Amino acid sequence: MTPLIVLFCSILAGFLLRRRRLTLLPPAVFNIVIWLLLFLLGLSVGSDRNVIDNLSRYGVSALIIGGLATAGSVLAAYLLYKITTRNHHDEG
C-alpha cells in the first residue's frame, strides 16, 4: 500500500508543479538512479529463495505474459501513430 501512496503523491506533486521548470539534477543522474533501483530490485528477487525455487514453474509464463504485453503496447503505439499522423498527411 505504501508504494501506491508514494506514487500518487508524486503524481499529484508533478501535476501541481507542471508549469515550473524543474532542473534539479541533470538527466544522467536520473538514469543512474533508475539503473541502481533496477539493480537493487534484482538483488532482492535473486536473494528470495521462494522466487528462485519457483522460477522454473513461473518463469516461462512470466516470459510469455511479458512478451505479449510488450507486443501489445508496440502494436497500440503503432496504430495510434498511424491514426494521429493520417490526418496530417491528408491536409498537406
Q: What is the pLDDT along the chain (92 residues), one digit of tens a residue?
A: 788 899 899 999 888 888 877 667 777 888 898 999 999 998 998 899 988 888 888 888 888 999 999 999 999 999 999 998 876 655 55
| pLDDT at residue 92 in the model | 52
Question: String of b and e for 53-76 (b: at least 16 CB within 10 Å)?
Answer: eeeeeeeeeeeeeeeeeeeeeeee
Give pLDDT, residue 31: 87
What pLDDT is attached to residue 56?
A: 82
